[in-house]
Structures are given as C-alpha cells and as structure tokens.
Amino acid sequence: MGRIGPIEVMRILKILKRLWPNPGAMEIGNPYQNLVGVMLSARTRDEQVLKLMPGFFRAFSTVEKLADATTKQIEGKISTIGMYRQKAKNLKKMAVDVVVKFGGKIPSTMDELIRLAGVGRKTASVVLVASFDTPAIAVDTHVHRVTNRLGWVKTKTPQKTEQALLKLVPDKLKHTVNQVFVKHGRYICISKPRCWACPVRDLCAFKQKNLVAPKNAREILIDMERREQVLEELRRQAIR
C-alpha cells in the first residue's frame, strides 16, 4: 500500500462506523460522570465498570460529594473492580482538585486534565472528545494494534501512535478513531485476527491475514453482536 492520506482514512473510518455505530462504552453522562467512568475502566472490563455506575452515582452524584467522601466510602462502591484501592485514592484526589482548583467544573483542556490524579493522556482524550467535542485521539492497545496493522502508522508504543495519528487524521474524524478501533480490536482485529470477518481487509497492509473462517464463524459473529448489545444497554443504564 502507498502512503495513507485523508481520503483513505475517511473511507476506512466510514466503513467501520457502519459496523460499530455505538458510542464508546464510557461515553456517558456529563463531564464528571464521563471522567469517573474512564478512570475506573483502566485495566478493567467495561461491563464491570458500567454495572457499578448506578450505585456509584447515587452515592456521589456530584464532584463535590465525591470530594467530601472518604477513601473508604469510595472503595465500598468500586470494590468489584481491579485496583479499586488505588482508583479510590485517585478519584478522591481528582475530585478535591476539581473543587479547589477548578471551581467544581471538570477542566476542558488536555493540559489541565492531565494535572488531575489518575488522569493520563488516554483518559483525557476520551473526556475531551466525549464531553467537550474537542479533537483528540485516545490510544489504547487496540487502537495501537489496529492502526499499525492497517498501515496507518509504524510505531512501537501507544504514545508514538497517538502522535502519528494526530497528524494523520483530520480533526473532524478524530472522534471516530477510538470509538471504532477499540471495538474492532476487541472483536475482530484480535491477536490472531479474524480477517475473514473484517470489512476493510482489502484496505489493510497486514500481510499475515487470516482469511479462512472457522466452522463456528456464525456463532462468533452472533456472540459479537450480543456482547455489543449488552454493553450498550449497560451504558444506557449507567446514569439512570
């Protein structure tokens, strides 16, 4: 494949957006709820985080209430997920900083967001896109793997991938990258890719394509759809 340009980027994202039309799992509610969700989702299955969201936000409906809570109280609402003690500490400190330094409003710039406890560029990027409609690209292992296989980038780390994608992808399309590639990397472009199910395989630079569908291909596709439906329902219920 030749050099990737905006037309190729737009074409692939358009195709994948039809395949994965739902918002990202942590694109929920207001900026406070969105930020909390993304912070909790680090190294944790989205389903686990979304299941605890209703109870969490009943207890801490605002950033001020979260700031007033003790770390133990926060732990009690998130103990079903991994690293909950460290996450509780980060949530407490984040909330206090937002109240003290930002007047109770979640900051809306990258530089301000990454000053908060437990917030790195990936988390900040999700919040910027979902809550403030600001062009950004959150790069996790899925986005890193898929964009390298496609030939969009040739990078060794998610950080380098983010830098390359920010230059490659037009601003109006940046919000779509994380949404479609996280899902694509989770279900189809896995470690042993399911190229047989990929609608952009003919536009992909990956050489070791797995084009032979297994005998249980139909069951795999049905399970993908079911998992997405479950995730979307949990997302909708998260802030009711």
Q: Which residues are catalytic?
A: 122, 140
d(CA 137, CA 79): 30
Q: Which two tokens stand for residue 189?
A: 């472009």
**Residues contacting residue 202 through CB under 8 Å, at least 6 positions apart:** none
CA-based torsion, 93, 98, 102, 107: positive or negative: positive
Task: List the one residue out of 54, 29, 45, 115 whose CA is nearest residue 81.
Answer: 45
Q: Which two tokens stand for residue 84?
A: 């909950």
Angle CA 189–7–152, to nearest 5: 40
